Amino acid sequence: MNNKLPELRTVNVIRYVTPLREGGSLPAIAEADDDFLYVLKFRGAGQGLKALIAELIGGEICRLLGLRMPEIVFANLDEAFGRTEADEEIQDLLRASTGLNLAIHYLSGAITFDPLVTAVDPKLASQIVWMDCLLTNVDRTARNTNMLIWHKELWLIDHGAALYFHHSWQNWEEQARRPFVQVKDHVLLSKASELDLVDLEFKAILDTEGINSIVGLIPDEWLVASSDESSDELRQVYAQFLLTRIASSEIFLKEAKHARETLI
């Protein structure tokens, strides 16, 4: 397991390569000034900054747990990008996304995970299901697995739909203790036969220091853009939400095991 506290690099976007139109928020492949390609997630798209926050928290928790997740970086987008793009929809998106965005290292040559083609070890399946229950990630279904096979290994991507409690902020303490009923649609649920073992292992890894270090990465400007609360107060909510779910994991674990029994 990789328990190193997270650090994120910051890159500058120098070239817009192509849109990824299969994504609802219209992400794009872009080149940065470090000569690498990234999947660029825009602050001006769809769910906006909250999707970027969920992507950041989910991806770094994934990494902390030792699962394979492409590198996440902060990506600066200059206002000039919106001036030369011919597509008006993309032009508007680029103009609305000037400033600090989020990008994921592009895994060139990766193929979409197909559960009918690639067998997943029960331990790994249980790890992914457990993590998605913690994050309330609704977007790991057979229709949209958000997993890639790269160099014969399974990589996880796209956590922007996780942590949906933050779209309303209402009763977040109650939501932190709720079961994750959408686990019934998880693409790996049928293989997740080692949830109890994973629960013990992951709860030992996800301590207060680790969670606080991850939420501490969220830029102030992302937090206060749509809230009257201070950035420190909002970080504390994210941290407490996650720590409460970890401490109460038996709730979502019971739901996951029940859903699996029904499925198989």
Whether residue 24 has pLDDT greater than 50: yes
- The per-residue pLDDT for 82 is 66
Alpha-carbon dihedral angle through residues 234, 236, 239, 243, given to the nearest 10 degrees: -130
Contact 3, 64 (CB under 8 A): yes
- Per-residue pLDDT band for 2 (boundaries 50, 70, 90) equals very low
- The per-residue pLDDT for 200 is 98
- The per-residue pLDDT for 23 is 56
Of 205, 223, 204, 203, the residue nearest 215 (C-alpha): 223
Please give the Cα distance from 232 to 250 (Å, whole number).
29
Domain ranges of the chain: 10-105, 111-263
Please give the Cα distance from 60 to 205 (Å, whole number).
13
Please give the Cα distance from 139 to 132 (Å, whole number).
9
- The per-residue pLDDT for 1 is 41
Q: Given phi > 0 = left and psi -120 to 50 = alpha, else beta, which region is 119?
A: beta
Mean pLDDT, rounded, for 103-110 = 97
Q: What is the pLDDT of residues 206-227, one digit of tens each?
A: 999 999 999 999 999 999 987 7
| Cα end-to-end distance, the chain, whole Å | 30
Q: Could you tell me which residue, 264 or 63, shows the higher pLDDT? A: 63
Q: What is the mean pLDDT of the chain?
A: 93
Q: What is the pLDDT of residues 138-170, one digit of tens each?
A: 999 999 999 999 999 999 999 999 999 999 888
**Can you list the alpha helix ranges (DSSP code H) found in the chain?**
49-64, 81-84, 88-96, 122-135, 172-176, 195-205, 208-215, 220-224, 231-247, 249-263
Q: What share of the chain is helix, strand, coil (3-state, %, to 5)?
A: 45, 15, 40
Question: Other CB atoms closer than 10 Å to residue 128's CB: what's the count?
Answer: 26
Q: How far is CA 82 from CA 40, 52, 128, 213, in A?
A: 15, 20, 38, 34
Whether residue 106 has pLDDT greater than 60: yes
The CA R_g of the chain, rounded to the nearest whole Å, is: 18
Q: What is the pLDDT of residues 235-247, one digit of tens each?
A: 999 999 999 999 9
Of 82, 107, 86, 75, the residue nearest 96 (C-alpha): 82
How much of the chain, in percent, has pLDDT values that exceed 70?
A: 95
Please give the Cα distance from 177 to 114 (Å, whole number).
32
How much of the chain, in percent, has pLDDT values that exceed 90?
A: 81
Contact 82, 154 (CB under 8 A): no
